[in-house]
């Protein structure tokens, strides 16, 4: 006898409510601790949190959101997308052929060891100081986790599955899409998740060099003008932006990898 639909809906709501409580509990505690610890602060560099919250609406007006936040988000989206496309394409090629992998591996290990912020002056020489430089900096750092995870995901494709697909005549683009990329997609998404946080960091760093707008530029301007509470609001906004992008990424990942999460759930329930 099955469970009534109303009871299933109630359980789903209870689980969603519990997840929300768990997600908000620690941030609420940290904010409360910060509020209490800074309440009596007279240090100009460590203003009370209530002061930071008080100036937040005045700092981040609609004009500043259009002039600073939107350009930053667009640069991040462009660099991240370029890195995702290049990382998946190159990772698929390198992971599919052992000879290509052996040829590229020393170069990949060398390049991945170079910290992306070090490349900012070099990229500035070739790309100038405009948006192209900032997008290139973001892409140069985001591409590595995507590429390396794609290589490992393609390498780990089940050989029995590959042979079965070949015996059924599934080759070419259909094999790449239905077998290789589908099998490697969990690791590809793991790389994309790592790249997201790297992209936000590089977005801020790239905007600290020869920029005229953006979140990184604005935070530095507040710091140089000794507008310390305003500077803290920029840092909080960056954290909120990262949290929002993480939530959106999680929703997209759960939708694309629904089959994978379903398999894992079935594996946990099976005796």
pLDDT at 191: 95
Cβ 150 vs Cβ 180: under 8 Å:
no
Tell whether the model's pLDDT for residue 233 goes beyond 80.
Answer: yes
Tell whether the model's pLDDT for residue 3 goes beyond 60.
Answer: no
Look at residues 126, 136, 129 and name the one whose alpha carbon lies nearest to residue 202.
136
The whole-number average pLDDT for the span 191-207 is 93
pLDDT at 271: 61
Q: Residue 9: which H helix or E strand, with range?
A: helix 5-38
- Higher-pLDDT residue of 6, 168: 168
pLDDT at 188: 95
The DSSP-derived string for 92-114 is HHHHH-HHHHHHHHHHHHHHHTS
Using one digit for the tens of pLDDT, what is the confidence trace for 115-174? 888 888 888 888 888 889 899 999 999 999 999 999 999 998 888 888 888 888 888 888
pLDDT at 270: 67
- Higher-pLDDT residue of 144, 262: 144
Using one digit for the tens of pLDDT, what is the confidence trace for 51-97? 999 999 999 988 889 999 999 999 999 999 999 999 999 999 999 88
The whole-number average pLDDT for the span 31-57 is 92
pLDDT at 245: 94
The rounded distance, in Å, linking the Cα atoms of 268 and 270 is: 6
Query: Tokens 């600290």 map to which residue?
Result: 208
Look at residues 142, 133, 140, 128 and name the one whose alpha carbon lies nearest to residue 207.
133
Cβ 207 vs Cβ 134: under 8 Å:
yes
Widest CA span in the chain: 74
The rounded distance, in Å, linking the Cα atoms of 13 and 161 is: 38
């Amino acid at each position: 006898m099955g469970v009534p639909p109303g009871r299933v809906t109630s359980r789903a709501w209870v689980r969603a409510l519990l997840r929300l409580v768990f997600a908000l509990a620690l941030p609420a505690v940290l904010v409360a601790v910060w509020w209490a610890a800074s309440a009596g602060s007279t240090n100009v560099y460590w203003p009370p949190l209530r002061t930071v919250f008080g100036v937040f609406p005045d700092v981040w007006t609609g004009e500043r959101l259009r002039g600073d936040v939107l350009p930053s988000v667009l640069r991040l989206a462009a660099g991240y997308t370029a890195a995702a496309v290049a990382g998946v394409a190159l990772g698929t090629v390198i992971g599919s052929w052992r000879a290509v992998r052996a040829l590229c591996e020393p170069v990949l290990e060398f390049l991945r060891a170079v910290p992306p912020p070090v490349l900012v002056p070099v990229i500035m020489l070739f790309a100038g100081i405009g948006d192209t430089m900032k997008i290139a900096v973001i892409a140069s750092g985001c591409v590595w986790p995507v590429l390396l995870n794609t290589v490992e995901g393609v390498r780990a494709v089940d050989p029995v599955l590959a042979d079965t697909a070949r015996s059924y005549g599934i080759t070419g683009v259909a094999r790449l899409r239905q077998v290789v990329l589908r099998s490697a997609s969990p690791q590809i998404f793991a790389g994309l998740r790592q790249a997201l946080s790297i992209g936000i960091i590089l977005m801020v760093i790239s905007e600290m060099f020869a920029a005229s707008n953006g979140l990184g530029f604005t935070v530095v301007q507040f710091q140089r003008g000794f507008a310390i509470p305003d500077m803290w609001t920029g840092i909080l906004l960056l954290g909120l932006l990262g949290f929002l992008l993480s939530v959106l990424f999680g929703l997209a990942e759960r939708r694309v990898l629904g089959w994978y999460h379903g398999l894992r759930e079935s594996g946990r329930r099976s005796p």
